[in-house]
Structure 1
Amino acid sequence: MPFRGSEDVGPGFIADPLSRFFALEQALEQTRGLLGDRVPLRFVAVNLVLTPGDPAEITRDVVELRAGLDARLPWYSGIAAPMRLLLASALLKLGDDADAFCDELERANAMMNELGFRRPHVYRALTVLALRTRGALAPIDLLRLERVKAIYDAMKSHHWLLTGPEDIPACAFLSFQDDPPEVLAARAAAIYKTLSDHRRMWQGDPLQTASNVLALAGIDPELIADRFEALAKGLRKAGVRVGMAEYDEIALLCFLSRPVAKVIEAAITYRDRLSQELSWMNTKLAFSLGTNLAYVRLVGGDPELGPLADAKGLLDMQAIIDTRAAAAGAAVS
């Protein structure tokens, strides 16, 4: 992975994604309603920065796709409205159709049941999306799902308590690499151990998620851990509060083909612009979206690396939903 000092950029490169983001954000805002949630709209705007077309027309297409998902996904699926909106934006980018996606989800879900995949349903949907994205909409076969499950089981052999259904989408991305499942899981585990034991990163689910993403780089764990540590230190020096919640952002930034200082400058510049233009936005969300914009700007439409930003946005949104639900439950109690 040529991340050190390279000035190459990915296909679909755009010089400044912020103006496109704000145009999409304004168009999406018209659909929000008085009490609607702004957060998923901003993730959608980031996801669609590289999508050509008029923002108003793109918004109509997203709303139409979401309506298609609403009609097909059962209430007991546990896929909340914000996640359906983000799924719709991913389908639009992919050139997919709501009925085609739901048909494939139903077919894959039956095979997942046979193979003993864990629930909840939302992570199965994200797994199917990952497989359709990397597989160019090809039908998902049993062999592919068996490989995803084998990678997941191998990961669980390293971290039995940490490995859960939220890790299955990463296993789906890893399944397209040539190494055996045991090798892929061992690589992710080695990155986790290197970061926790030798780079003093906090152990736990966020570090495992980051390690699974970093395993996609396919390089020596020490080398990718060096990159991760350099970014974490540089961000702290620049005034960013780097905790476990920022590990997924740092993992994404590790893939950018720029010197560390340039990567940090881009992410912070976008964070600050977002905070200035959208005063309601908290610092954590602004940094998350700024990271995605920096990633989009430099990776562009790369068919292998591009989908990682979409997957991260979906997982971030699900984490926000879970946090809100936990807070509401605590308030009721």
Structure 2
Amino acid sequence: MRLDTIRHEVETTYDKVKSLAGWSVSKNVVLTITSYYVTAEREFNAVDFNRAMAALKERSGWFSPLRGHLLPMMAAFLTQSGNSVDEVVDRLMEKQRVLKQAGFRNSIHSYLAAILMNDDADLFEVEAERAKKLYNAMKKQHFFLTSEDDYTYAMLLGKKGEDPELHAKAMRNYYDALRKEGFRAGNELQWLSQVLTYTDIDFKSHLVQRAVRIFEMLGDDLKAMPVHYPMIGFLTVFDVEDGNIREIISLAKELGQSKQFKWNREMALSLACGILLHHLTESADQVGVSMAASVDMIIQAQQAVMAVTVAAVATSSAHSASNG
């Protein structure tokens, strides 16, 4: 990877997104959208982006979750297929309807989960039911931690079609084991424990140790934080080697020199992880599993979580400021 080339692409894409997203969209959300395009090696198309935003506004009410500051993020996700924007947005609304019927609450998280669904309408109900069963099983294992922001991972992992109770139990086992290794308790650790079940729901102690090793490597050089836990999970289950982790460190440091990341170093690391993961999964033998077909879905899931996390922080800060 040419580090300077990637940095230039990030800076150029950021400027394009910022000019169209609008002044009300926070810098963190713009960075997240930029990360999505760069990670997936997709050219930012202003025309498609604007059409997607307009179509989402047209089909959603004033109080819809889509009307928030994550509207541009959703528009970016919907420009990926190359199909008609109207067709893609209509399909999203149908997926959302099916998810609501399955018992998911109407929120930005359910729309993000809808994006991860298969485009075959015959599979909508099957995937929604599997995701809801897994979500319910996850709720039994971690009642207070499991909430709407787990919808995306319930959808992503529910596609495996495993026994939901056994699957959720494996997540809890990973959570407890990682907690003993010093990982901070909370939603991010739950996401990490969920990701570790992606390729196999049987508990593997070596995955716990590998996650510890990766976190230590990233922490020593880049001060990795809980927000990076899910990506550490992906790097773990895809058996990314130490040499590749060092490439991530080098790329994150290069990106950190850009003004866009001056106050967002944590996002530089997330972007670096995503870029390397994308490159590795283009050649399945490098990660030991055939992930080429689903790499974009994985990147979307992580970027969606990042987007929601950033938005929650922004909302909380604005609320605190208004009260003050």
**Aligned partner (choices 178, 191, 194) of residue 177 of structure 2:** 194
CA distance in 2, matches of 1:96, 1:241: 41
CA distance in 2, matches of 1:302, 1:82: 31
CA distance in 2, matches of 1:225, 1:200: 11
**Aligned partner (choices 305, 315, 327) of residue 295 of structure 2:** 305
CA distance in 2, matches of 1:272, 1:114: 45
Q: How far did 1:14 drift?
A: 9.2
Which deviates more, 147-156 or 25-34? 25-34
Q: How far did 1:97 drift?
A: 4.3
Spell out the pairing of 1:82-231 with structure 2 (5 A cutoff).
82-119=69-106, 121-131=107-117, 135=118, 137-139=119-121, 140-197=123-180, 199-218=181-200, 220-231=203-214
Kept in 1, the 8 Å contact 2:24–2:69? The answer is: no
CA distance in 2, matches of 1:265, 1:171: 31
**2:194 maps to amino acid:** N
Structure 1 pair 243/23, CA: closer, same or farther in 2 (3 Å)? closer
Structure 1 pair 183/95, CA: closer, same or farther in 2 (3 Å)? farther
**Aligned partner (choices 235, 253, 257) of residue 272 of structure 1:** 253
Residue 248 of structure 1 pairs with residue 248 of structure 2: no
Structure 1 pair 241/145, CA: closer, same or farther in 2 (3 Å)? same
Kept in 1, the 8 Å contact 2:29–2:310? The answer is: no
CA distance in 1, matches of 2:36, 2:237: 17
Q: How far did 1:24 drift?
A: 2.5
**Aligned partner (choices 40, 52, 57) of residue 29 of structure 2:** 40
Give structure 2 stretches of 5+ with no counterpart.
Answer: 283-290
CA distance in 2, matches of 1:224, 1:28: 37
Q: How far did 1:231 drift?
A: 0.5
RMSD of the TM alignment (CA)?
Answer: 2.6
CA distance in 2, matches of 1:145, 1:315: 19
Please list the CA deviations of residues 233-272 of structure 1 after superposition, one character each: whole Å capped at 9, or x if unmatched.
112232x323323312322332455312x23322222222
Structure 1 pair 73/254, CA: closer, same or farther in 2 (3 Å)? farther
CA distance in 1, matches of 2:72, 2:94: 22
**1:73 maps to amino acid:** S
**1:76 maps to amino acid:** F
Q: How far did 1:213 drift?
A: 1.8
- Give identity over the alignment, percent: 19
**2:156 maps to amino acid:** F
Kept in 1, the 8 Å contact 2:70–2:307? The answer is: yes
Residue 21 of structure 1 pairs with residue 10 of structure 2: yes
Structure 1 pair 315/41, CA: closer, same or farther in 2 (3 Å)? same
CA distance in 1, matches of 2:317, 2:49: 29
CA distance in 2, matches of 1:167, 1:94: 25
Q: What's 1:292 paired with?
A: 274
CA distance in 1, matches of 2:60, 2:120: 21
Which deviates more, 320-329 or 284-293? 284-293
Which deviates more, 227-236 or 84-93? 84-93
Q: How far did 1:330 drift?
A: 1.6
CA distance in 2, matches of 1:243, 1:141: 35
CA distance in 2, matches of 1:62, 1:109: 21
Please list the CA deviations of residues 144-200 of structure 1 after superposition, one character each: whole Å capped at 9, or x if unmatched.
211111111111111111111111111111122142222221222221122113x22
Q: How far did 1:35 drift?
A: 6.2
Q: How far did 1:329 drift?
A: 1.4
Kept in 1, the 8 Å contact 2:278–2:295? The answer is: no
**2:258 maps to amino acid:** E
CA distance in 2, matches of 1:326, 1:263: 36
Give structure 1 stretches of 5+ with no counterpart.
Answer: 1-12
CA distance in 2, matches of 1:95, 1:82: 24
Structure 1 pair 227/299, CA: closer, same or farther in 2 (3 Å)? same
Kept in 1, the 8 Å contact 2:60–2:67? The answer is: no
Aligned residues: 310
